[in-house]
Structure 1
């Protein structure tokens, strides 16, 4: 720990580690525990003071960002992000300290405001909460996850800017959680090395010291952002990469074409602005950055040009800067594509209507094919008449404006037409007069079926209790069936079953469910 000129804070940290080592070689005396307590109090006091300074620095940056946004807006935004991330992690460390006090049943003296340093000698509080065998507990994993999350957030805020490289290196060193070699030169996890087996006051002090690291990091970042703004003002960092697209809308699969230039907004107020020959009200159009906002009705579907000019006063003479650009108008969507993932079903033997389209591609450049699929009438309309198999795949190919092709596919399950319901005189059960049954028409009805598919009954069987069943052709009772019906007693239940039917030009239909009728007379 020697070598070089150390700051007072680093000397304090080094002293803490020396005390750690000393505690390994001696019994934990009250004096040693009190030393940790005094050290924790100093860190806590430093944290309060640093918090006040950080708030002042942040307020100064925010004020400067309003006065000189071109110089301080970005640094102030980064400082705010650092402040939020640091506060979140600082508060999390505070919850760990509170948990330690609660589990150890330690209370702060209400008169002195101090912890019971000499009584905080337990070593099993965090050992049981954070460690199990050679692994972390769920809580231990949570602690490491929060540390890594804070580190990742600070790295994201600083990014890859070369100006922040040294600050990032210092931050990574300060919050280095790599494995650490123990006294046997065996590398162990960072969390084990710093917290396992230590008395409660040592762990509590370590957490406060880590909070101090957070506050010091925050202060360093604030000063970094404040100290770099003058350099930024004369460097290319004050310029922006501005993308100038050849058009403001592109179709899927189309190549993006445009230019990237380095520039920045001019704060010089223009004396005139016109678009398409129409003068624009400067008071409403120019924002705080010097940019002009355009607000006009677009033309019809297709590509359109923007033609105008900016007028400035330079050397007492008007200077015109041409405005050139274009934009693309695409049709406003008026329908949504909604599908039930488990309901991709088509029925065998019927014409299944389908709508097939490819987003952003006209219908005449979309091709779809599949077994039994044919073009229908209308934009994107198709008809599917599946035959053999249990599945059918529909492949769709679209040709983009640049001639390239994209494709997709969907798989549909093929189902047979469901079993129809057998009926006579519109009833499948219940009571009917004998005469109604004798002259009634037998039907096979597809109830709750999505398609209007009329079926013609070709044959059925008729059964009267105590008599043999009679096979009938067509959809009405034969003479033999009528004779059997006349012999049936009042209240008897007659059955019409094995009802066979067909659809013109369609596949075989399953026999309908039987109809059971009680004779009312």
Structure 2
């Protein structure tokens, strides 16, 4: 595997490893072997340093998680998974190192029965470790080790978990896991590793064939075939360091990703947005109170569409070319909206707009918004003629119902006593009293839907229910109160009519019949008509009247 992002110390250790491997091939024995021990111990020290660094990065991430679990949760969960994968792989390699030590020392069978406890354990910091190479007698042993890790054929390495090939497959799986990492944050945005990090991982965990004596050999053969124990131990320690480096890079990326797409603010102000600016007695004041953050060095642009929003159109506003009105913005970044109600019809209104602001990466971004709903209404003057609160049977009684601060379409109007009330298309109501004369009273009750969706009782009004007044008959321009009538008016033989005199309801009265009584020369005569017209007998009788 080729390393990347190595510190000067790691580069020096790598060079020492190469030099010592070359010297070992020349059979320079004890001094060279002791050199490998020093390299191994130096690598183990580096492992401890990296473990502490990983712990610090993970702790910083954990602190952020404890302060904001919803936002940091996806990153923290992924970090836990990475730590688990990394720890498992480091433990596996450490156990494989212990097996290699046991194979070279010649006590594999005995140690297998006790989980290689002579060579494998956990140090005082809870980290997996192996017996120090300096305590191993057969540091230059390679035959038994080659058989265990590779088998007899360098180009056909044996398979299995505790082999060179198994080691390669385990690290490849870890590499593929890391390169495929993605996090979906609390806003639903997917975050993936940068291309540069993925490239680094692919280079760090590369298992391509290597050139030896002018020939390409498998990675397994180049690193484990006829290679003495003293060289294998530092090699596997270097693998652990590479894994720790990759783990730390991944967790550090997660830590940085928490705020990568976040906006930065320097000041906050309290804001209170009431659900309604009109509170009815008995209702509850409801408002959203929160802290609003802003950056006075980055004042946003605020635009509003002057056309009333219909509540359905979901088109995203483009601040250019659509006639949007720019608003004045104060030093706190608040757009100042002033919308005149002149020329507006009564009812509810809401407008949409867009805010342009500089994003965390310097680009201009847009955020749509909706204004609170407000109601345009007439002045709430109420004058009630308490003696005139009457509904008449047999005619439609028009009624207007309104409650200041509550939209007409949020009202629920009902009537008692078996009477009926119907809402009209123009928002008014028609009351139709019951035909029964026993229902002499009607109560109209009104309930309203409040901004939070609750239903409140808004009051009631009581009305008397009466029959309509009797119509007044008219004949030849005369009414019953007139005491005289001329001969010419009589013989005009005009039809009889009836009207609702001084009655403001539009009532059409049709005469179905009438009776004429005439007294002449002591004789009383009575004639009937079955409609509103004078009969021939009536005409003959009236012509004799003087």
Scaled by the length of structure 2, what TM-score is found? 0.40
Larger radius of gyration: 2
- TM-score computed with the length of structure 1 as normaliser: 0.41
Which has more helix, going by share of residues? 1
